[in-house]
Amino acid sequence: MRPQPSYRGRFAPSPSGHLHFGSLITALASFLDAKKNNGTWLVRIEDIDPPREKIGASEHILKTLEAFGLHWDETVLFQSKQSDYYFQVIKELFKEGHCYYCSCTRKQIKTIGGIYQGHCRSLNIEKSNSAIRVINNHGIYQYHDLIQGNIKCEQALAEEDFIIFRKDGLFAYQLAVVADDIYQNISHVIRGCDLLEPTARQLSFYPLLENIQLNNFQLKNSPPTFGHIPLVVTEQGYKLSKQNKAPAIDNSNPQPALMAALTLLGQQPPKELISENVNEIIKWAINHWQIDMVPKKREIQLT
């Protein structure tokens, strides 16, 4: 058997719309870093929020990734198929005394300053109409980022008892993302700087899952290494949208957007590369990928 590659990366879009230029850059950076390190690259569709989902978006995202030469190595994982696993994780967290039901409203939390103070920790609230929060006694608020260096987040926010199951009956992002990064044995996460704060929470979550055993599957896992690429914004500092200057994501003509993405990632592709086919551009990009060249900034402007 071929030895398991030690690098396992992933791109995990939510199907709330088509892939835009901002998410293309994220996909490209995580793909190139995995391939440069002889790693495996996975795609996971984070479809745990049906009200925000757009019909057909998952298929469209996957088609776009293929058109841009970003081919994944294993079956695509859909989070909507992972409910049983998430429920088992929650059940075990209760057994270990790591979580509790909370009936506080957003309004109540807002009146105490917006940071949850553990109000329901010892109230033994019943299940109905409640969220589930973890007891976050050792919140991590500083960590080393592969691209951005040392990151320091707001301590009070990082130490908050965060929600893993929502009042409206949906799994929370933090639970699903950590459970699946463990499930898929992810070693490296390259994503956008909008997730710098959630990363701190996710790092705090790992130790709580350490001793959990599910049907022959030990959740023990060290957290992945994280690297956050700058968010692409317009000259006015706005996030990218269809209306502003973002290069169009055109599956029948991917070269211009690929070249623009490589340039913004600091990779300095030679101009003549644009006349090559997608596979040649991707081959060049893998061979020349240098994560150190990615700008060490939270945001980067389209010019």
Binding region for Zn ion (CB under 5 A)? 102, 104, 119-120
**Dihedral of CA 49/54/59/64: which sign?**
negative
Please state the length of the chain: 303
Distance from C-alpha of 137 to C-alpha of 257, rounded to nearest angstrom: 44
- Assigned token pair, 146: 């592969």
Q: How far is the CB of 140 from Zn ion (least distance, A)?
A: 22
Task: Give whichever of 123 and 214 is closer to Zn ion, judged by the CB atom.
Answer: 123
Whose tokens are 């030990």? That residue is 218
Task: Give whichever of 42 and 104 is closer to Zn ion, judged by the CB atom.
Answer: 104
Whose tokens are 């350490």? That residue is 210
Task: Give whichever of 117 and 277 is closer to Zn ion, judged by the CB atom.
Answer: 117
Task: Give whichever of 25 and 104 is closer to Zn ion, judged by the CB atom.
Answer: 104
Q: How far is the CB of 135 from Zn ion (least distance, A)?
A: 12
Distance of CA 231 to the CA centre of its chain: 14
Distance from C-alpha of 160 to C-alpha of 55, rounded to nearest angstrom: 34
- Assigned token pair, 301: 């402007």
Distance from C-alpha of 73 to C-alpha of 50, rounded to nearest angstrom: 26
Q: How far is the CB of 130 from Zn ion (least distance, A)?
A: 8
Distance from C-alpha of 234 to C-alpha of 276, rounded to nearest angstrom: 28
Task: Give whichever of 68 and 116 is closer to Zn ion, judged by the CB atom.
Answer: 116
Task: Give whichever of 42 and 102 is closer to Zn ion, judged by the CB atom.
Answer: 102
Q: How far is the CB of 137 from Zn ion (least distance, A)?
A: 16
Q: Percent helix, strand and coil across the chain, each rounded to 5?
A: 35, 15, 45
Look up residue 247 and give its DSSP letter: P
Q: How far is the CB of 121 from Zn ion (least distance, A)?
A: 8
Q: How far is the CB of 197 from Zn ion (least distance, A)?
A: 21
